[in-house]
Amino acid sequence: MVTCYKAPMRMCVSTLIAALVLATAPVAAQESPPPEPPPPAEPPPPEPPPATAPPTEPPPPEAPPAETPPPAAAPAAAAPPPADQPPPAAAPAEPPPPAAESDEPTVEEKRLVAYVATGVTVIALASGITLGVLANDQYQCAADVIACNQGRANKIVGGELFDVRNEIEQKAIAADISYLFAATAALVATVNYLQGFVFVDEAGSAE
């Protein structure tokens, strides 16, 4: 320890400062860390090996030449047919296809229709004429009952006049219907007569 009570004041202060500096110097030297060593230098990258070409494959062996096939044998001559063999029978002829059915009536059917229609025409016309004559006679009698009763055995009396008039109307209607049937049958007979007797050749050629 430094004692400076006998020395002058100035000298004592300088001595103390020097002592403090000497005392703190080793502590600062101990506290300061040692300098870090420099990092080691990185080694240079290794050089790549030189590229080598792949080994070439040996060429395939050549195929042996194909063998030529042996020549084909000549076909054997066909044996001649025996002289006694009969010739093959001919195939039976196919039957002709059936004729297509047509909806148009034949000439015979048209003639038959003409005959029937002619008969219906005659009967209907005769019925119409008969009924018409009877209705006309009764109408004339009903128009003048007194003159009609003079020549009649069954005289028209009282309410029989109304019955006579109703009968006249019914006969007149029946006569008109008969005339209508006669006209229709006459038209059918005419058409079928022309197709069955007159235009036979034209109808046959058209078919």
3-state secondary structure of 77: coil
Whole-structure pTM value: 0.46
93-94-95 Cα angle (round to 5)? 115
Residue 45 in any domain: the answer is no
Question: Residue 189's closest CA among 119, 117, 109?
Answer: 117
> What average pLDDT score do residues 138-147 get?
84
What tokens appear for 114 in the block? 């003409």
Per-residue pLDDT tens digits for 153-194:
777 777 888 888 899 999 999 999 999 999 999 999 999 999
> What average pLDDT score do residues 12-40 get?
62
Q: Which domain holds residue 146?
A: 107-206
CA distance 9 to 16: 11
Residue 14 in any domain: the answer is yes
**Residue 148 exposure: Cα atoms within 13 Å on the Cβ side:** 15
Residue 190 in any domain: the answer is yes
DSSP string, 2-34: ---SSS-HHHHHHHHHHHHHHHHHHHHHHHSPP
Residue 145 in any domain: the answer is yes
pLDDT of residue 55: 54
Residue 157 in any domain: the answer is yes
Residue 149 in any domain: the answer is yes
Residue 132 in any domain: the answer is yes
**Total domains present in the chain:** 2
